[in-house]
Structure 1
Amino acid sequence: MYSAAESSKIRQDFWTTFGQYMKPVPSAQGYRINWQNYKTGVKDVYFRMKTERDFISIGIEICHRDDELQQLYFEQFVEFRKLLEAELEEPWDWQLHQFDDLGKVVSRIQKVKIGLNVFDQNDWPAIISFLKPRIIALNAFWANIKPAFEDL
């Protein structure tokens, strides 16, 4: 078991490594981008990558405080579901109104992979191989549909 400081250091080292690996990859628009800290540019819509002891995940998280507006954003993503899944080349899990780690209501569209451990450096290539194509695909998807969310 790692101390909190050790856990934080390992995670920080992983995200630094991921960032260095992704640095030469341009966004869908050809710009430089901070992949590990992706900014959607739309309030309450986030692209989240999570690394834990027994799983990793990547997804879209809608965090609007108003449940009805959160549902409206989620339904807007549902309208683009075929486009998203075509870009990702796989189906993802869709969850309306779930609780996050802090007990807040959020909605998620995500892909989870069980069995990879960020604390095992031998798993890092597999974690990066899982996250890289999906965050690039999310970026390409977002480049096309972001305007539909800017007016909500």
Structure 2
Amino acid sequence: MFSREEAARLRQQFWISFGQYMKPIPGAEGLPVNWVNYKTGVKHIFFRMDAEKKHASIAIEIAHPDEGVRALLFEQFEEFKRLLENTLNEEWDWQPHAANAFDKQVARIELVLPNVSVYNQQQWPDIIAFLKPRIIALDEFWVDVKPVFEALK
């Protein structure tokens, strides 16, 4: 068991390592990307990567405070479901009603890698191997569909 400080240090070190590993990889448009803190450029739409005690995950999170608008944005993503799955080469879990880490209502499209721990440095390569191709694929997908979501502002 780690102290709170040690756990925070390990999580921070993981994300620093991931960021350094990803830094030389350009985005789909050939420009540098802050992969750890990916900016979609559309308010209330986030790409979230997480590494925890028992799992790692990657998600598209729609956090609009208005339930109707959130549902509309989720429906728009559903229109692009085939494109997303073809870009990712896999199916993700679609959750129109979920809660985020702050217990706020969101819609989420995610994939979870179970049975890994950010606190086990020997598992970091597995977590990175899970996150890396998916955030790159999300970036590729986003380049194609972002204009549609920008138009919905």
Give the TM bin, normalised by the shorter chain.
over 0.9
Q: TM-score, normalised by structure 2?
A: 0.98
After superposition, the C-alpha distances for 1:10-44 in whole angstroms (9 at most, x for unaligned) are 01100000011101100000000100110000000
Displacement after TM superposition at 1:75 (Å): 0.3
Asked if residue 112 in structure 1 is aligned to residue 109 in structure 2, the reply is: no
Per the normalisation by structure 1, the TM-score is 0.98
- Structure 1 residue runs of 5 or longer lacking an equivalent are none
Which residue does the alignment assign to 2:36? 36
1:63-88 CA distance string (max 9 Å, x none): 00000000000000000000000000
Q: How many residues align?
A: 152
* In structure 1, distance between residues paired with 2:103 and 2:36: 24
Counterpart residue number, 1:19: 19
Q: CA RMSD in A?
A: 0.6
1:102 CA drift (Å):
2.1
Q: Indicate the residue corresponding to 1:62 in structure 2.
A: 62
Unaligned runs of 5+ in 2: none
Partners of 2:38 and 2:24 lie apart in 1 by 15
In structure 2, give the amino acid aligned to 1:64.
Answer: H
User: Identity of counterpart residues, as a percentage?
Assistant: 53
Opposite residue 105 of structure 1, the aligned amino acid is Q
Misfit runs of 4+, over 3 Å: none
Rounded to whole Å, the distance in 2 between the matches of 1:91 and 1:63 is 21
1:71 corresponds in structure 2 to 71
